[in-house]
Amino acid sequence: MAAADVEAVWRIESARIVAALTRFTGDFGLAEDAAQEAVAEALVSWPTAAPANPAGWLMATARRGGIGAIRRRAALHDRYALLAADPDAAPSFDEAIDSDRIDDDVLALMFISCHPVLSREARVALTLRVVAGLSSEEIARAFLVPVPTVQARITRAKKTIAAAGVPFELPAADERRARLGGVLSVLYVIFTEGSTATSGDRLVRTDVAYEAIRLARTLAALQPDEPEVHGLLALFELTAARFPARTAPDGSPVLLEHQDRRRWDHAAIRRGLAALVKASARGLGPYGLQAAIAATHASAPTVEATDWDRIVVLYEALGRVAPSPVVELNRAVAVAMATGPAAALSIVDDLIAKDRLPGSHLVPTVRGELLTRLGRHPEARAELELAARLCTNQRERAVLLRKAAALP
């Protein structure tokens, strides 16, 4: 079994393993460390002796490591006795994975990762690490920070949670509501990484994206009266509906205007629209507005037939409730489709003048497209080549270079 297979199992099972270990040991940091050590052991042993049940092997190995660590902690002697002295007293792997409470376990793990004792940066890094299973390198690329910075954030976060004595349990309803915004923002980051990978040779990382969707569905079931939970779920479903058409058989990106919309997942569109109705109960928030934009795309038969005026209005509303340079850049794209590239170019140039998205490949990408439509080909080529240099996703970079080379 190759390292890629180990990584695939870890992606799928990491949150469940860490959640179950945390429930067993009562120590969040110990659980995550034991799970990581089990993965390291798998990388050594699986290539020569692949287990019949990889997830079960990881769980059992991590649990043994956790027990060993507990043995070395005199203050946790009673917990060790419970787990190690009486094997029948400890839940089996199958109970841990197949129990009806597993979704609650993973959600509890997410609420711990998003605990208010942590900074926002630490919450995101920790949740991406232990819930989504992303590596420190992947998190660093996503946030344009050095790998040691991410590692330090994760280490400090685990120490902070331990020092604060945060229990492994779902918070009470009122406290859960207070922490909900942080959980939603972390889920959004996880899904965004899955829907358009920041680096590597894959455009879409469906395993990461679908894990965010699964967690969002669980959260919506637990918080049925929170409109923005449904708004986030609607956004995820409507965006993921395009996944089947976003890449060619060889993995290369297929742009929106060239996608075969018959390949879109229409069941996901229906689920997304149903969630959007629930999100609209008390007016749309930031995630609901983004879902409404995705719904407008989903209901259009072609790019040309899309209601771009409505999308511009929705981006303007989004800019008022959740202003950001990315929202402005997306509004510029919509303005270009609704009224032409000249008006959109002024929006992009204003972002550049204010240095709102330094180092991002998105600004020169959009600017290059607008200049192409305006017939300013030498400038467009320079922008697209700059975007390619800044882009860390190999698939996106290839598209940018192809567009630049095709200009007269």
The predicted model scores a pTM of: 0.76
pLDDT tens, residue order, the chain (408 aa): 677 778 878 877 888 888 888 887 777 788 888 888 888 888 888 988 888 888 888 888 888 887 777 666 655 455 555 555 554 444 444 444 444 455 577 778 888 888 889 988 898 889 888 887 778 887 887 666 789 999 999 999 989 998 998 888 878 878 888 888 889 988 998 899 889 988 788 899 888 888 889 889 988 987 899 999 999 999 999 999 999 999 999 999 999 999 999 999 999 999 999 999 999 988 899 999 999 999 999 999 999 999 999 999 999 999 999 999 999 999 999 999 999 999 999 999 999 999 999 999 999 999 999 999 999 999 999 999 999 999 999 999 999 999 999 998
For the chain, the C-alpha Rg in angstroms (whole number) is 23
What is the distance between the alpha carbons of residues 45 and 378, in angstroms, rounded to a whole number? 55
Nearest C-alpha neighbor of 161 from the set 17, 22, 10: 22
Per-residue HEC secondary structure of 331-359 comes to HHHHHHHHHCHHHHHHHHHHHHHCCCCCC
Question: In sequence order, which residues have a C-beta less than 8 Å from that of residue 303 and are 6 or more positions away?
Answer: 256, 257, 337
Residue type, 327: V
Three-state DSSP at 253 gives strand
Question: In sequence order, which residues have a C-beta less than 8 Å from that of residue 72 and are 6 or more positions away?
Answer: none
Q: What is the pLDDT of residue 72?
A: 63
Provide the token pair at 360: 């991002």
What ranges make up the beta strands (E) of 297-336?
none
Provide the token pair at 114: 């998003």
Q: What is the pLDDT of residue 90?
A: 43
Tell me 247's DSSP state: B
Provide the token pair at 126: 């920790």
Residue type, 223: Q
